[in-house]
Amino acid sequence: MSDLSCQVPLPPAGLRARFRRGDLVRPTAGLAPGFVQANLVVLPRALAFDFLVFTQRNPKPCPLLEVVEAGCAEPRVMAPGADLRTDVPKYRVYRDGVLVEEPIELTQWWNDDLVSFLIGCSFTFESALLEAGIPVRHIEQCTNVPMFITSVQTVPAGAFHGPTVVSMRPVPAEKVVRAVQVTSRFPAVHGAPIHIGDPAAIGIRDLMRPDLGDPVEVRPGEVPMFWACGVTPQAVAMSSKPPLMITHAPGHMFITDRRDADFSVL
């Protein structure tokens, strides 16, 4: 990793080329700053309509950036010329809801019946929070953001249903309003928080024991803020146990050519 951090940042296409060649396999946090990174979900065509309706009904956990139809692997809107079969640093392949492999490219799994979905990622609004002077604890601590499975149910669609997963960021009380405003400007990448304050109100028992990711310190005078999380669609898709589902490996996102700023509504 150090060879990358000491260089001029590679542009998205340069990074994707290294992922494609297989000579770079690492989490993408901090790479290509200013460019949107995306969650990937790939499903058989028979489930694609239901999943698409699911994302429409649940825009906060599932902010859909692009749909790539069956028979195509190029996300023409978010990264023209890229190839979703090779340009993610690491993938996960699930069969009937069970993780069977973590390949670095998809040649052996791909077929023309697969539809791909790119879903927004909170990296985009975290940059905006930092620029607004709002600290982001898990970035300070160099850990993964703490995530919780809540009692807030998503709106079901066809085979897809399940709880909303949230990420938590503790924010100084005097900056909570600003954090709402800043993230509200990014509805395409989870947008405003879904809850502020008491974790129990959304079914979270212990803030220091996240279901996914790492715990972070909540200091006196800080308020926990909860945003819908991009893990939700994967968790929900898995609950329907599709014959084949492919996603990015956690933290190993698809890096697009679109800028974070393009996804602000104001």
Q: Which of 149-173 are b and which e, b meaning 16 or more Cβ less than 10 Å from the residue's Cβ?
A: bbebebeebebbebbbbbbbbbbee
Q: Are 137 and 217 in contact (CB under 8 A)?
A: yes
Stretch that binds a second copy, among 4-12, 20-28, 51-59, 90-98 (CB under 8 A): 51-59
Interaction between residue 176 and a second copy (CB under 8 A): no
The answer to whether residue 56 forms part of the interface with a second copy (CB under 8 A) is: yes
d(Cα 252, Cα 112) in Å, to the nearest integer?
Answer: 24
Residue 58 or 86: which CB sits closer to a second copy?
58
- Among 135, 144, 172, 184, the residue binding a second copy under the rule CB under 8 A is 184
Among 1, 100, 155, 261, binds a second copy (CB under 8 A): 155
The answer to whether the beta carbons of residues 123 and 29 sit under 8 Å apart is yes
Q: Tell me the DSSP string of 125-137.
A: HHHHHHHTT---H
Among 24, 31, 62, 64, binds a second copy (CB under 8 A): 64
The answer to whether 112 contacts a second copy (rule: CB under 8 A) is no
Binding to a second copy, residues 188-227 (CB under 8 A): 191-192
Cα 87 from chain centre: 16
Of 8-16, 170-178, 181-189, 243-251, the window that binds a second copy (rule: CB under 8 A) is 181-189
